[in-house]
Structure 1
Amino acid sequence: MRNTIYDNIYKRIQKQECTLTFEKSKVIEEVCQMMSLLNESLLELKKYVLRIGFESPSEEIEFFKKIKPGIQGKLIYYNRIFKIETTSPVKEGGCYYKHLTDQQTLLQKEFKQHFANSEFYRYYRSLREDQDDIYFRLGNISVTWGLQNFAFDIDYQFSTYYDSQVAFIIANDLINNYIMLRLNPDKDIEFSKSINYQNYHDLFWTDSKNALIELIYALHASRALSNGRLGISKICNVFSELFSIDVGDLHHAFHRMKVRAGSKTAFLDQLKENLEQYMNKDL
């Protein structure tokens, strides 16, 4: 029942995202519609959580680490696009690009202020899970942790505080991508296509994040995509969009793989073994 509710909400969001064009003449109206839908979705989730609660600690952690931040992060993202586009003095030319550059600088300042020296940011980006019980379960917030001021205004029945931090991290990544693609008009079409990956709502990555990172680096190293012209971050973004997964700190995870015990290519080794077994079935 729970998965059905979550899936239905995601499907509505993904269906709406498939209609986005991000054309400059339409973007304000489009993001307003997205904000309305996302806000309604969060309210629906809140009513459900307050009424039903969670069946297990693991479900609670997944909700506040992935499900809620994924939706809230997009709400922050589309709201930021709305502000960027409605405060721009013009829609074309040097003034518009200057406005975008200023927004990019502001985003960088916000990152330095809120995340650059954050222990939690390093925890989340490094894909750790050992403190999830502290960060992503209700009732664990301590006023002595040096929280940001807005933390004391949050709804303690529907937030662990750190789920909002994850939402801002997700939003910042999306906002930076939006600004970068607006600054390079030749990538506008590419941006629209990346959003349309959301159409594959029934396609999920069900192995570990490290396995996906291993695959991404293998494709990059073998120059199997676009004759090797795509950077590793670009490939990562494609897979993140396609599989609706936050890969996290790609380079840090890869460094850990390089020094781990045993096979450095455990997932690829398993892929090869599974494929050979599958081929031998028909022999």
Structure 2
Amino acid sequence: MDVSSQIEIFKAIIQDIQHSNTDIIKISQEAIKLCRTTLCSLRGIVKSKGFKSQKEEVQFFKKLKQIPSSYLIYYLEVYAFECQLSKISIQFRQKFSDKTKNHYYQFLMNHIDFVNYIEQGQAHLDICYFTRNQSVQIMMMHTNDYFYDLDFYTSHDMLLTKINGYKRFIDYLEDRINGYSHVSYNSKLEWTSSKVALTELIYALYHSQAINNGHAEIKEIANELQKIFNFDLGDFYRTYLEIRSRKKRKTKFLDELSMCLTSELEKKNS
């Protein structure tokens, strides 16, 4: 299997993992395993086949390898953060999250020149940064990176991995922090249909890409609707699996919604 195929498989599986559970610890554990397995496979391909050109080598270390490696960094950080957070009293959690976020912002600031190089789409130093030039690696590798296999790392691809992973983690922390300060809806609405019905609606909104142009995560949609309707869905993914296993009328509630609206419209027109 080639590198591109491995990456496409990784993308598909990581999405399944992200939508397979509401427990971020479990999601992180599964994602970390997948990232490590994928990187091990990519390492085998690189060591056995090599690259046809410097352009191909740069593409691998600057773009392709970054996908599983940055997710690995991200989920390692999420896992460590959530494990620590669970041991901190509620009144100190926002302070802890702010302090953590500032730490990663400081890392980005410490490497601002390289961050700008990447964000501005520059490429004039790519040969130095993203090919396995041994003399450059000796100068640029940090002391805590001494154990890296030099056939599978360049002087800057791990730095880029950390930057990409930390950026994603900062976004995660900001969502967490916003959650602490989020003002309650004080909604007077109450969901009086079933858990299964609300789950159907959530997944319909998600798969139709009707919210945020399709960029909203399933968990975000579920959390917001639970707040609006003062309703606890519990493990809604398990409910979704039950819906998928139905023999007939998988979208029973949505079908009923459509029928009710259609019937009412026809009454108004008669």
| TM-score clears 0.5 | yes
Aligned to 2:51: 54
The alpha-carbon distance between structure 1 residues 57 and 34, as it changes in their structure 2 partners (threshold 3 A), is same
User: d(CA) in 2 for partners of 1:39 and 1:57?
Assistant: 25
The question of 1:157 aligning with 2:154 is answered no
CA distance in 1 between counterparts of 2:160 and 2:140 reads 17
Deviates more, 1:88-97 or 1:128-137: 88-97
Tell me what 2:27 maps to.
30
Distance change (3 Å), C-alpha of 1:144 and 1:72 = closer
Distance 1:90 1:152, change over 3 A: closer
Classify 1:149/1:122 alpha carbon distance in 2 versus 1 (closer, same or farther; 3 Å): farther
What is the aligned partner in structure 2 of residue 217 from structure 1? none
The structure that has the greater radius of gyration is 2
Shift of 1:64: 0.1
Residue number in structure 1 paired with 2:123: 129
The separation in 1 between residues aligned to 2:155 and 2:129, in whole angstroms, is: 8
- The DSSP-based 3-state class of the residue aligned with 1:184 is helix
Cα distance in 2, alignment partners of residues 15 and 132 from structure 1:
33
How much has 1:70 moved relative to structure 2? 1.8
Matched with 1:207 is none
- Number of aligned pairs? 192
What are the ranges of 5 or more consecutive residues in structure 1 without an aligned counterpart? 201-225, 240-283
Q: What is the aligned partner in structure 1 of residue 62 from structure 2?
A: 65
Of 130, 133, 148 in structure 1, the residue corresponding to residue 142 of structure 2 is 148
Alignment partner of 1:84 out of 81, 84, 87: 81
Partner of 2:7: 6
Secondary structure of 1:87's partner?
helix
1:128–1:167 Cα change, 3 Å: same
- Return the alpha-carbon distance in structure 1 between the equivalents of residues 37 and 140 of structure 2: 31
1:15 maps onto 2:16 in alignment? yes
**Contact 1:77-1:172 at 8 Å conserved across structures:** yes
Aligned to 2:150, what secondary structure does the other structure show? coil
Say if 1:139 and 1:156, in contact at 8 Å, map to a contact too.
no
Is the Cα contact below 8 Å between 2:18 and 2:27 reproduced in 1? no
Closer, same or farther: CA 5–28 of 1 in aligned 2, 3 Å: closer
Taking a change above 3 Å as real, the CA distance of residues 67 and 139 of structure 1, as seen in their structure-2 partners, is: same
Whole-angstrom CA distance in 2 between matches of 1:161 and 1:151: 10
- 1:89–1:10 CA distance, 2 compared to 1 (3 A): closer
Q: Distance in 1 between matches of 2:32 and 2:154?
A: 22
Structure 2 residue identity aligned to 1:160: T
**Which one-letter code corresponds to 2:144 in the other structure?**
F
1:150 aligned partner, one-letter code: N
Report the AA paired with residue 18 of structure 2: E
Hey, what's the Cα distance between the residues in 2 that align with 1:87 and 1:135? Answer: 35
Shift of residue 81, structure 1, vs aligned partner: 0.6
Tell me the CA shift for residue 130 of structure 1: 1.8
Match of 1:42 in 2: 39
TM-score between the two structures when normalised by the length of structure 2:
0.61
**Pairwise CA distance, 1:134:** 1.6
* Partner in structure 1 of residue 103 of structure 2: 106
State the SS of the aligned residue for 1:142.
helix
1:92 shift after superposition: 7.2
